[in-house]
Amino acid sequence: MELVVSLAIGVLAGSGVWLLLRPRTFQVTIGLALLSYAVNLFIFSTGGLRTGADAILGRGQVGTLAEFTDPVPQALVLTAIVIGFATTALLLVVLLAARGLTGTDHVDGRERDR
Amino acid sequence: MTAWTDHLVIAPILVPMLAGAAMVLAGGDRRRFLAGLGLSSTVLMLALSAALLVLADAPEVRIYRLGNWPAAFGIVLVLDRLSAMMVALASILGFAAFVFSLARWHRAGAHFHPLFQFQLMGLNGAFLTGDLFNLFVFFEVMLAASYGMALHGSGTARVRAGLHYIVINLLASLLFLIGVSVVYGIAGTLNMADLAARMRDIAAEDRALLEAGLAVLGIAFLVKAAMWPLGFWLPGTYAATAAPAAAILSILSKVGIYAVLRLWLLLFGDGGGASAGFGATALSVGGLLTIAFGSVSVLASQNLVRLAGASVLVSSGTLLAAVGMGQAAVTGGALFYLAGSVLAIGALFLLVELVERGRDIGADVLAVTREAFGTGEHEEDGEPGERDAIGEPIPATVATLGVSFLACALLIAGLPPLSGFLAKFAMLSPLLAPGGDAPPPIAWVMTAALILSGLATVVAMVRAGMDAFWATPAGTPQRVSVVEFLPIALLLVLCAGLTVAAGPALDYATAAAEALHTPSDYLRGVLVAPEGGR
């Protein structure tokens, strides 16, 4: 499972970085989205990867982290998803405004050869 | 400790939050109400930050536990001298920029008032929090508001620069998250004090990974602070933004410096075990390179607003290099420098708008477009033969602006008699005499860098000032209202106050730096169990 998750994070991050370096604003946005997926998965995996562990403690159970999954990375990833979602939405609006004002979807607001 | 002074610690976050929320509910049409509310909120924050500044001037740190949970479980706010100083700077700059914006900028776009309040809330929160993830959240509050502020007034240049600014900061936020999660994965805590207490006992095989995580975190902060290879976004963004927004953005770069200062000295100080001093070379060399890059960009700036942006780079570089030296006395001088440079650069950003307005009546408000004209234009305009040989009296507005510009130039370049010079002296003096030993080579490099960057700033400022005040064609009407000039005067008077009261101010800064370098009080204060806790 570790291998699958780390490969997934790696592929997402790699594609994200490649798209981020592309000249079109839409590619940059998608690149940022992929990168944030990679980071979210990464945060999630810092709590340790386990199958079949309890999500929370059962009644009367005095637990250590060996018995249930660490809730802190889940809380972190939730916050990160919300914030990432909101800022990506904002970026989309700015992207559309830039497209409207400059007449091109190049990240610099003008084509290179012009 | 009385009950109500304890609650003052959270007030700088609550006041702008509530004011901003009320503004959102009130809607954008009631401008008079919004302006009144914003003004009372910023004035209240001035008073609060003054109170906190006095409260913090004590050996023990003040802790505010949200929900009274012990620090290891709950979120804490921590007030010490450094955070009180930063909150005070943010409030002063916020007040000045807000009053300035009341003249005309607050009408230039929607939601200016709530965004401004949320910006201040994010700044204050980032300065006060004692928890890494909470720091991330306040960074995002601050950045989300700053995206809106950077785009305020709209226009092609702003949207283009804002797009770059947003993408770079989103990327830095992702790095921040990676760093935070690695730290949590290894150390099992996100509380800064708890983390510092655990630094010594990190297993040897995990230490490299933890250091890598903290280094990634550091990169996120250094993007904000605009250290050399990470700071190319800064001059373009600041040049494109509206003047009050640029003044507020100029303290955003100091948030990066603050985070580096706080975390680096806490985690990699003497208590860091085998990691002590990690990254010191990177900080000081990076700072020196930033000074060099900033000085070249100051010289290369074709217009005033880019010059102001480039001087933010120089000031960031100076602070980073001084922190990287790792001496408490140098850090104390650097904190004194930080206070003066935040005020002076804020004043310069506001001033530049007034000066540029006098020069380009009818031209685009955006200063960026001035690049297309070049600096030689005005000399060709006013043919000297047409005018009286003796010249004409300089109008009072131009004279006032000129004197303010001169004061800004002296402050930023670090020339006597103003506080910029004292600050540079306070940094260099302990650096060159570390207890009788011969100073290390990097101390000499730092000295040279500070002096040369000052020279570059003087040259650039003199050139820009001559172009702006002496070569302006006759008959250009200057329309500067008192509301716009007062904040600049306030900032400059405060700088003058820093000069006159340099002794007490420097004592305060040195005490703050001592506490940062020996964080035992900080650790004890945060980690002690709450009274009546659960």
- Give the nearest chain B residue to A76 (CA atoms): B133
Residue A56 has pLDDT above 90, yes or no: no
Chain B contact set for A80 (CB, 8 A):
177
Residue with the two structure tokens 């260099």: B428
**Mean pLDDT, range B61-71, rounded to an integer:** 82
The model scores a pTM over 0.90: no
Task: Classify residue B372: in a domain, yes or no.
Answer: no
Structural tokens at position B420? 């910029």
Q: Could you give all domains of chain A from N- to C-terminal order, each with its CATH number? A: 2-48+69-102 (1.10.287)
Give how far A11 is from chain B: nearest CA, Å.
Answer: 16
Summary mean pLDDT of chain B: 83
Q: A27, A42, A79, A83: which to substitute to probe chain B, counting the most B Cβ within 10 Å?
A: A83
Identify whether B314 is part of a domain: yes
Pairwise CA distance, residues A4 & A6, whole Å: 6
Residue B392 in domain: no
List all residues 6 or more positions away from A86 whose beta carbon is below 8 Å from its beta carbon.
B144
Question: What value does the mean pLDDT take over residues B177-185?
Answer: 91
- CA A51 to chain B, closest CA, distance in angstroms equals 18
Residue (of A52, A5, A94, A77) closest to B156 by Cα position: A94
Is the Cβ–Cβ distance between B341 and B412 less than 8 Å? yes
Q: Cβ atoms within 10 A of the Cβ of A64, count?
A: 6
Please name the residue of chain A whose CA is at the shortest distance from the CA of residue B162: A94
User: A32 and B170: CB-CB below 8 Å?
Assistant: yes
Q: How far is CA B15 from the centre of its chain?
A: 21
ipTM: 0.92
pLDDT (tens digit per residue) in B81-94: 999 999 999 999 99
Sign (positive/negative) of CA torsion B39, B420, B235, B232?
negative
A-chain residues within 8 Å CB-CB of B159?
94, 97-98, 101-102, 109
Within an 8 Å CB–CB cutoff, is residue B135 touching chain A?
Answer: no
Structurally, chain B folds into a number of domains equal to: 1
* Residue contact B159–A98, C-beta within 8 A: yes
Range of the domain at B432: 3-364+398-527
Q: Is residue B370 part of a domain?
A: no
Task: Write down the pLDDT at residue B534.
Answer: 40
What one-character-per-residue DSSP string does B302-314 give?
SSHHHHHHHHHHH
B386 located within any domain = no
For residue B337, being part of any structural domain is answered with yes
Q: What is the pLDDT of residue B230?
A: 87
pLDDT single digits (tens) B311-346: 999 999 999 999 888 888 889 999 999 999 999 999
What was the pLDDT predicted at A108?
82
Give the residue from chain B lying closest to A75, CA to CA: B133
Q: Considering the domain boundaries, does residue B376 fall inside one? A: no
Answer whether residue B383 is part of any domain. no
